[in-house]
Chains A and B, each alone.
Chain A
Amino acid sequence: MAKKATVGKTFFNGLVTENPTFTLMLGMCPTLGVTTAAWNGIYMGLATTFVLVCSNLFISLLRKIIPDKVRIPCYIIVIASFVTMVDLFMQAFMPDMRAILGSYIPLIVVNCIIFARAESFAAKNGPHLALADGLGMGLGFTISITCLAAIREIIGSGKFFGMEILPGYEPMAIMTKVPGGFITLGIMMILVNAAKKAITRRRAARKEAAA
């Protein structure tokens, strides 16, 4: 029973509590770079999730045999293998999306989220927890950047998942450019932090009332 709760908690931790985009602020490069359209966000997120889950699992399994002094090169080999798989898979089956995401797919190798989770979580925990962590973090990342991308797409090109939704709207082109990424991310972070603060305050108040 206790173990199951921890798996759930680890998953939730990655998804919300320690959301890689809004709390840990990791993987900012793809977060700002590819989030110009909602589909980009989904594919980028899923590709990262796959690599994250697999590398977390394997690094966790290998954690007792990887010598401490050469652990970073070992992680890179594990991560790079999965990134190559994703890259070749996308080139074969979705060349259009691969062309849009461009070098951001091979760059998953150096994505901070994956390294951070390998170093601080997978290397210290069992495979089932590492799996849950990878899935939670990956989906947290996917949801965050898809929201970010959807907002930028609506304001910056008047579309939602590629469909025209605002006829006669003059798109605010800066939102699909780099400054728009920073502005949207900043504003979303304000809102997420405000929401978190409100929740913590409410919980504290409830606890006080219960006590």
Chain B
Amino acid sequence: MQHNLAITPSPHVRSGATTRRIMQDVCIALAPAGIASVILFGGHAAVIIAVCVLTCVLTEYVYQRLMNQRVTAGDWSAVVTGLLLAYNIPANAPIWIPIVGSVFAILIVKQLFGGIGSNFMNPALTARAVLFVSWSSIMTAYPNTVFMTGGVDTVSSATPLAALGKVFTGAEGASLADVGLADLFLGNCAGVLGETCKLALILGGIYLFIRKVIDWRIPVCMIGTVAVMYLLTSGFNAELTLKELLSGGLMLGAIFMATDYATSPQTNLGRIIFGVGCGLLLFVIRAYASYPEGCSFAILFMNVCSPLIDRWTAPTPFGEVKQHG
């Protein structure tokens, strides 16, 4: 079952995949969501994206220079971190928010633990969690999109997730019609800047899948688990389930964050466990905890578990007999 760790004699086919190549692919896949965010939230979204990317690359360069390490700041991985972090910040956040977040992501989460491939948690997600816990009022002030009444300068009264949460718990006056399915899919809804346009995110995901950059198991298992849990608990309410799948950070998290190589399991079975775990935790946090969205915390928790999952699902070397009793 676990073919991806098979050891075979030469000759080998060389794939030509390098860190740089993969990271460039991820950047290409993230581009539609970035363009969508600028259309939806205006120029400030572009400023935040630019600040995040620049600060991330610069932090990595300066740190590696100061520590006399080989400078790998040009391998595009910091660009990916910067993009992902920017997509997790509300479009009208003050400019120091992306700067603090980027420095934290690269310096503390990535470089202090040994740089690319050695970090045990996703840098962008961890930085988001730190920003979220530290300045929650700024990080949850989601602006309206330019197409909504009031425009970007007004802070949204209720995010789709909050509205759906009311429907889920059966609160009075809450209705599924408050949240439009097309708006959710195209991104015309309140949220952090990169998560709203699901169409762009899914397009990026398909690109990554075709380029074989990501494995289907983690995103599919994660989204599938959330779908199954909502179907089961809402009495097979398909509309609610579909809207839940298209709200919040689920798509962004499942496609781009949970699939990070360094922080997700290596084996196929492990990836399935990882995806299901992320989905379950996300459902539990959304449905029963005090935060409306739990995507980042769910993925971070599973990030920490992934070495254990890897160990548990490690394939047995060919010829080795399983010990009994």
Interface residues of A (CB under 8 A from B): 170-175, 177, 179, 183, 186-187, 190
Contact = CB atoms under 8 A, between A and B. Distances in A.
A190 B130 contact: no
Given A183-B108, A190-B112, A170 B135 contact: yes
Contacts of A171: 134
B135 A172 contact: yes
B133 A174 contact: yes
Contacts of A177: 133
Nearest to A190: B112
A171 B133 CA distance: 11
A159 to B, nearest CB: 16
A165 to B, nearest CB: 18
A170 B136 CA distance: 11
Contact of A174 (B112, B130, B138): B130
Interface in B94-113: 100, 108, 112
A152 to B, nearest CB: 13
B133, B136, B138: most-surrounded residue (chain A CB, <10 A): B133
Contacts of B135: 170, 172-173
A-B interface, 9 closest residue pairs, ranked by CB to CB distance from nearest? A174-B134, A172-B134, A173-B134, A174-B133, A174-B130, A170-B135, A173-B133, A183-B108, A177-B133
A172 B135 CA distance: 7
A179 B130 contact: yes
Question: For chain A, what secondary structure do more than half of its interface residues adopt (helix, strand, loop), or is it mixed?
Answer: helix
A186 B100 CA distance: 18
A179 B121 CA distance: 14
Question: For chain B, what secondary structure do more than half of its interface residues adopt (helix, strand, loop), or is it mixed?
Answer: helix
Contacts of B130: 174, 179
A79 B112 CA distance: 39
A183 B130 CA distance: 11
Interface in B116-135: 130, 133-135
Nearest to B133: A174
A172 B130 CA distance: 9
A42 B135 CA distance: 28
Contacts of B138: 170
A6 to B, nearest CB: 39
B89 to A, nearest CB: 15
Contacts of A170: 135, 138
Interface in B266-298: none
Nearest to B100: A172
Contacts of B136: 173
A134 to B, nearest CB: 34
B98 to A, nearest CB: 14
Contacts of A175: 134
6 contacts: A170-B138, A172-B134, A173-B135, A174-B133, A177-B133, A179-B130
B112, B134, B135, B136: most-surrounded residue (chain A CB, <10 A): B134
B111 to A, nearest CB: 11
Nearest to B136: A173
A174 B133 CA distance: 6
Given A171-B134, A173-B136, A190-B112, 9 more contacts: A170-B135, A172-B134, A174-B130, A174-B133, A174-B134, A179-B130, A183-B108, A186-B112, A187-B108
A19 to B, nearest CB: 21
A171 B112 CA distance: 24
Contacts of B133: 173-174, 177, 179
B100 to A, nearest CB: 8
Contacts of A174: 130, 133-134
